Amino acid sequence: MLYYLLYQVLDINVFKYITLRGFFSLFTAFFVSVLIGPYIINLLKTFQSKAGGYIREYTPETHSQKKYVPTMGGVLIILSVLVSVLLWCRLDNPFVLILIFTLITFGIIGALDDYLKIKYKSGLSSKSKFFMQISAAVVIASFFMIIGFDTHLYFPVFKELSINLGLLFIPWAVFIIVGTSNAVNLTDGLDGLAIGPAMIVTLTFVIIAYVVGHKELAAYLHLPHIAGTGEVSVFLMALLGAGLGFLWFNSFPAEMFMGDAGSLSIGAVLGTVALITKQEFLLAIVGGVFVWETLSVILQVLYFKATGGKRIFLRAPIHHHYELKGIPEPKIVVRIWISSILLAILALALIKIR
Ligand code: 57M
């Protein structure tokens, strides 16, 4: 909105620049998040304490005192992002509109699940939650087809290799969006554990979206140039600011959890950004922490079923295995952040090695 007012109406040239609006977007989202955070925490605490708190079964002893930490803090992230994006993004950019739709729809699905878990001690059934996610992802994938988006699939390292998915782009997009959304959701099991790596992935894609949207830089790095993705980096700077603001409260000991409202929406946005920038495989690398957390669950369940009850890990997802080995929660979280940072550096290095 301010882009239109300050640049197109008042002709203040500097506001046309993506970098400047990106920084304003980050700091606006951060300060909105940090300033309204305490109010959101109190609001959620009041609602949750009236409902009696919620904790999952098979939970390590260390989690029993978390029963009254309010969840659904993802609404703070979503609100902060929307305020900043509406102020600093170009709202005539189709990618920005698709990302706003993704953030809100997956946020609603997650918030509904959180609300039911708090109010009635059990959330949406896995089937209905999965159906809602698939449906939302099919709509998002259809938006891509409607705007005539390039349906080629590109690969890291092999700059000449690409496959045109055609209509198969829709199931591919659904897989990426729903898969990333649930991977972040599974990971969100320790204070700061999901938001840390999610912000590292976000910052990595701020860089990727800027480069892919810049004709000369994309050509220099042999990346497919997707016009308009520069505006996606302004959106992601808002997500980064909002996520850092949320981490202000979610760091150990957490004053609130993001809930499915946060994990599903952030994951879906990151999956959609990977599709927009045509860097789905790079997402799997920089988001390797989310991949490993999900794989640990798949391996655990398959082994459990195959051996009639034996486990590979003490408990899955893998962060609970480290917890049950006696490693303190903050140490597990920071070590996983370190892994995320190293994976982000590897992913960016792979862009150069093409
Ligand atoms: C998401 N939810 C947390 C919080 C957060 C199939 C199975 C692997 C599913 C999996 C599962 O249900 N995952 C759902 C994980 C929960 O966090 C809430 O959920 C939101 C995210 N969706 O925002 O609202 C608990 O996590 C803790 N937490 C923090 N700090 C945070 O910042 O401490 C969350 C955020 C919160 C809080 O205690 O209540 C969760 O873990 O449930 N199931 C599991 O993850 C369970 N694993 C399991 O059962 N493994 C089995 C089989 C099925 C693989 C096995 O290994 O044999 C673990 N869940 C818990 N403890 N709580 C087991 C250990």
Span from the CA of 307 to the centroid of ligand 1 (angstroms): 23
Tokens in use for 112? Answer: 């509904």
| pLDDT tens digits along 297-344 | 999 999 999 999 999 999 999 999 999 999 999 999 999 999 999 999
State residue 48's pLDDT score.
86
Q: Domain range spanning residue 47? A: 2-352
| pLDDT tens digits along 25-70 | 999 999 999 999 999 999 999 988 877 655 554 456 667 778 779 9
State residue 59's pLDDT score.
55
Span from the CA of 296 to the centroid of ligand 1 (angstroms): 13
CA distance 197 to 153: 25
For the chain, the 3-state helix, strand and coil shares in percent, each to the nearest 5, are 75, 0, 25
354 pLDDT above the threshold of 80: no
Which protein residue's CA is at the shortest distance from atom 6 of ligand 1?
297
Number of structural domains, the chain? 1
| pLDDT tens digits along 120-152 | 888 999 999 999 999 999 999 999 999 999 999
213 pLDDT above the threshold of 70: yes
State residue 66's pLDDT score.
82
Which protein residue's CA is at the shortest distance from atom 20 of ligand 1?
259
Atom of ligand 1 nearest to the CA of 259: 23
State residue 254's pLDDT score.
96
Of the candidates 351, 104, 99, 353, the one whose C-alpha atom is nearest the C-alpha of residue 228 is 99
State residue 124's pLDDT score.
94
State residue 61's pLDDT score.
63
CA distance 62 to 303: 26
Atom of ligand 1 nearest to the CA of 329: 33
Which protein residue's CA is at the shortest distance from atom 11 of ligand 1?
186
Q: What percent of the chain has pLDDT over 90?
A: 84
User: DSSP per residue over 296-333, as a string?
Assistant: HHHHHHHHHHHTTS--SSSSSSHHHHHHHTT--HHHHH
| pLDDT tens digits along 73-104 | 999 999 999 999 999 999 999 999 999 999 99
Return mean pLDDT, the chain. 93
Q: What is the dihedral of CA 173, 174, 180, 186, to 10 degrees?
A: -170
